Amino acid sequence: MLPKYYEFLNSVKIMSGIKALENIPHELNMLGAKKPIILTDAILAKTGALDKLVKVFSGWDIDVSEVYTNIPPDSSIKAINEIAGIFKEKGCDAIIALGGGSVIDTAKGLRVVIEQGGDDIMQYMGLECLPRKTRVPFAVIPTTSGTGSECTNVAVIANPDKNVKMEFVSYDLLPDFTVLDPEMTKTMPPKITANTGVDALVHAVEAYTCLQKNPLSQSYAFAAIRLITTYLPKAVLDGSNDEYRLAMSNAATMAGIAFSNSMVGIVHAIGHALGGVAHVPHGTAMSILLPHCMRFNLKELNSAYGELLLPLAGAETYAKTPKEERGAKAVEFVTEFIKQFEAVGLPTTLSAAGVKEEQLEAIAETAINDGASLVNPITATKEQVIEILKAAF
Amino acid sequence: MEKKKANKRFKRGLVGVVMTLLGKGIRYAYKVDERVKAEIDSLGDNCTIKITVAPVGPSLLFGKADGKIFSKRCDYDTPADIVMSFKGVEGALLMFTGRMGLGEGYAQHRFTIKGDLYKVMAITRIMSYVESEMFPKFITKKIMNPVPKRAVNMLRFYLGMLFI
Ligand SMILES: [Fe+2]
């Protein structure tokens, strides 16, 4: 059961619950921050999330006047360099990320640039190769519940000039603390709630089953799945409910911790390619691909998927299903579970998501070159990926 | 203590020998296995890859320089576009004697990588193809799923690669 060797780290302090936002100034104060820069996007600035954050600082000797809202949908080196300039010029000393995946990745990139110095972030691309420098206090407030980025050691940053994406994997990317306050995810519309929630489900399923799995990451994944299958449908129906929102934020964070330490597999390899080649949003790609990729992995992962039937479908179904049928039953459950979100506009086929048949070849070629392919239990060939894509079409 | 040191030196030496063979294997496979050729070509005409073992080596450098394939042993701090560095000799030895696959080594955090992680999958496939030529199937089936088909038989591969 135990891997021959594994590593596990989650150094992020998690502050979860009602009015969690209020505790941010205290934490930053303890970390010695006096002038954080806030990174967010234009929508959050408009919908009031930013105001709520700024308000909690009133009376504190912490200056939160520096706000950058111009974050592009794909975090890019251009934005990072620009923000780094502002950070230095204005004498900032900490980073607060308020937003979804791209805001958080931009903030991670900014911290690398500020901490490591130098003028070319490309020299720091790679796996576990960032040397520790003086730390810049870093807080993350996720406004979606899916990416888990608040607790992952990965950042992907685009370099539009060279037309490449740069990938960074390092424990040094982990923030100091993250705040899960239901107030911050309430404005998410049902469709986004559904597709980010399914992203979290994929993180948990892949973390539980990939080559890098270990008992600690599996515990987080297992518990996250139970929360997602219990609360995601409820959060989609009633987004104003604190309990549902908080449960999903916790699930996403736990799934993030799991996959940060186990990595993800073929669903993400193909999903990244769908994003790159056909611009399918990440959560949508995950929703379409998960059942098909589980079917592809089933012969290797029958017993692992069988174990997941318990948190997926609950004790009743698990006990009723004969052991050897549990893996297939888990795939069946996941297929139906995702299908229910068609009602809020989540596409479940590639054609419905606007993918063209002539793009499948390029998607497959990109997918087999994605690092996530490496830890999938079966190394898929290009032909096999095309088969999966055709089945999902 | 002395014995331990000698043991480590022996292991580093052994890894070095396998690295030299692997380098030759890559060059020969480039000639006879079109899959390997396609993967190496996909990395570009000036892309060098170094595989090394911290903190002193041995180190292997391979790739293409001015469009030509090459492989050679190099110094620990020779620069390269992509550097894959084992954290210790034991992890490297497991990998270079076919007892641990690249995916498993990655999962076990046995090495660090400096450079473009998007090129790593091509390198992984190059290694899988070459290792599946160099090692018998009872070894490779433990470290790869699935094991790629051989392009040439093992004897021919060894003869070809030794005389390259
Ligand atoms: Fe994801």
- Say what the pLDDT of residue A125 is: 85
The encoded tokens of residue A392 equal 């999902």
User: What percentage of residues in chain A have a pLDDT greater than 90?
Assistant: 80
Show which of A166, A184, A202 is a domain's final residue.
A184
Dist CA A325 CA B129 (whole Å)? 36
**Interval between CA A330 and ligand 1 midpoint (Å):** 20
Residue with tokens 């982990």: A174
Element (H, E) at B44: none
Residue A235 and residue A279 in one domain: yes
Residue with tokens 């409910």: A241
Residue A163 and residue A227 in one domain: no
Residue A204 and residue A154 in one domain: no
Q: Is the confidence at residue A178, as pLDDT, over 80?
A: yes
pLDDT, one tens digit per residue, over A350-383 is 999 999 999 999 999 989 988 888 889 998 999 9
Confidence of residue A246 (pLDDT cuts 50, 70, 90): very high
Q: Is the confidence at residue B113, as pLDDT, over 90?
A: yes
Residue A388 and residue A372 in one domain: yes
Q: Is the confidence at residue B92, as pLDDT, over 80?
A: yes
Residue A252 and residue A159 in one domain: no
Phi, psi of A99 (to 5 degrees): 160, -160
Element (H, E) at A41: none
Average of per-residue pLDDT across A45-58: 94
CB burial string A352-388: b at 16+ within 10 A, e below: ebebeeebbeebbebbbbbbbbbbbbbbbeeebbbbb
Query: What residue ranges do the domains of chain B occupy?
Result: 2-162
Whole-angstrom CA distances from A260 to A153, B146, B164 are 6, 26, 43
Dist CA A143 CA B103 (whole Å)? 34
Average of per-residue pLDDT across A228-253: 97
Residue A207 and residue A180 in one domain: no
Question: Who among B108, B110, B120 is closest to A371 (CB)?
Answer: B120
- Say what the pLDDT of residue B101 is: 84
B117, B141, B143, best to mutate vs chain A, most A CBs in 10 Å: B117
Dist CA A39 CA A60 (whole Å)? 20
Residue A62's contacts (CB-CB under 8 Å, 6 or more residues apart) are A25, A28, A29, A33, A34, A35, A36
Q: What angle do CA B5, B104, A9 make, to 5 degrees?
A: 85
Residue A201 and residue A132 in one domain: no
Determine the distance in angstroms separating the CA of B86 from the nearest CA of chain A, rounded to an integer: 11
CATH number at residue A104: 3.40.50.1970
A132, A173, A379, best to mutate vs chain B, most B CBs in 10 Å: A379
CB contact under 8 A, B107 and A211: yes
Dist CA A336 CA A35 (whole Å)? 48
Dist CA A288 CA A273 (whole Å)? 13
Query: For chains A and B, what is the number of CB pairs under 8 angstroms?
Result: 74
- Say what the pLDDT of residue A356 is: 94
Q: Is the confidence at residue A49, as pLDDT, over 70?
A: yes
Confidence of residue A78 (pLDDT cuts 50, 70, 90): confident
Q: Following CA atoms A228, A244, A40, A46 in sequence, which dihedral angle do they give, to the nearest 10 degrees?
A: 140
Determine the distance in angstroms separating the CA of B19 from the nearest CA of chain A, rounded to an integer: 22
Conformational region of residue A2, where left means phi above 0, alpha means psi within -120 to 50, and beta covers everything else: beta
Q: Is the confidence at residue A52, as pLDDT, over 90?
A: yes
Confidence of residue A61 (pLDDT cuts 50, 70, 90): very high
Nearest C-alpha neighbor of B63 from the set B130, B126, B134: B126
pLDDT, one tens digit per residue, over A106-147 is 999 999 999 998 766 777 888 888 888 889 999 999 999 999
Q: Give the ipTM.
A: 0.84
pLDDT, one tens digit per residue, over A211-237 is 899 999 999 999 999 999 999 999 999
pLDDT, one tens digit per residue, over A252-307 is 999 999 999 998 999 999 998 998 889 899 999 999 999 999 999 999 999 999 99
Confidence of residue B146 (pLDDT cuts 50, 70, 90): confident
Residue A183's contacts (CB-CB under 8 Å, 6 or more residues apart) are A19, A21, A52
Dist CA B82 CA B60 (whole Å)? 12
End-to-end CA distance of chain A: 37
Residue A370 and residue A273 in one domain: yes
Q: Following CA atoms A325, A330, A335, A339 in sequence, which dihedral angle do they give, to the nearest 10 degrees?
A: 120
Residue A367 and residue A243 in one domain: yes
Mean pLDDT of chain A: 93
Average of per-residue pLDDT across B60-68: 91
- Say what the pLDDT of residue A248 is: 98
Element (H, E) at B52: strand B47-53
Enumerate residues 141 to 200 of chain A having a beta carbon within 8 A of any beta carbon in chain B: 164-167, 169
A315: how many CB neighbours lie within 10 A of its CB?
10
Show which of A151, A184, A217 is a domain's final residue.
A184
Dist CA A285 CA A202 (whole Å)? 11
Query: pTM for the full model?
Result: 0.92
Query: A2 lies in a domain?
Result: no
Phi, psi of A73 (to 5 degrees): -60, -30
Mean pLDDT of chain B: 88
Residue A176 and residue A211 in one domain: no
- State the total domains in chain A: 2
Query: A227 lies in a domain?
Result: yes
Residue A74 and residue A211 in one domain: no
* Coil vs helix vs strand at A137: coil
Full domain range(s) for residue A138? 13-184
- Say what the pLDDT of residue A163 is: 67
Dist CA A74 CA A95 (whole Å)? 19
* Chain centre distance of CA A173: 14
- Say what the pLDDT of residue B155 is: 83
Nearest C-alpha neighbor of B132 from the set B12, B36, B3: B36
Contact (CB, 8 A) for A84 and A23:
no
Element (H, E) at B4: helix B2-32
Contact (CB, 8 A) for A213 and A182:
no
CATH number at residue A361: 1.20.1090.10
Strand order in the sheet with A67-68: A13-16, A177-180, A138-142, A94-99, A36-39, A67-68
Confidence of residue B3 (pLDDT cuts 50, 70, 90): confident
B52, B102, B121, best to mutate vs chain A, most A CBs in 10 Å: B121
- Say what the pLDDT of residue A350 is: 96
Element (H, E) at B154: helix B154-162
**B2-162 maps to CATH 3.30.70:** no
- Say what the pLDDT of residue B1 is: 63
Alpha helices in chain A (DSSP H): 24-30, 42-47, 49-55, 77-89, 101-116, 190-209, 215-237, 242-262, 266-278, 282-313, 315-320, 326-339, 360-368, 382-392
**Interval between CA A285 and ligand 1 midpoint (Å):** 9
Whole-angstrom CA distances from B18 to B12, B73, B130, B135, B139 are 10, 11, 12, 12, 15
Chain B interface with A: residues with Cβ < 8 Å: 102-104, 106-118, 120-122, 124, 128, 144-146
Q: DSSP label at A172?
A: G
Average of per-residue pLDDT across A168-190: 94
User: What percentage of residues in chain A have a pLDDT greater than 70?
Assistant: 99
Residue A194 and residue A124 in one domain: no
Confidence of residue A200 (pLDDT cuts 50, 70, 90): very high
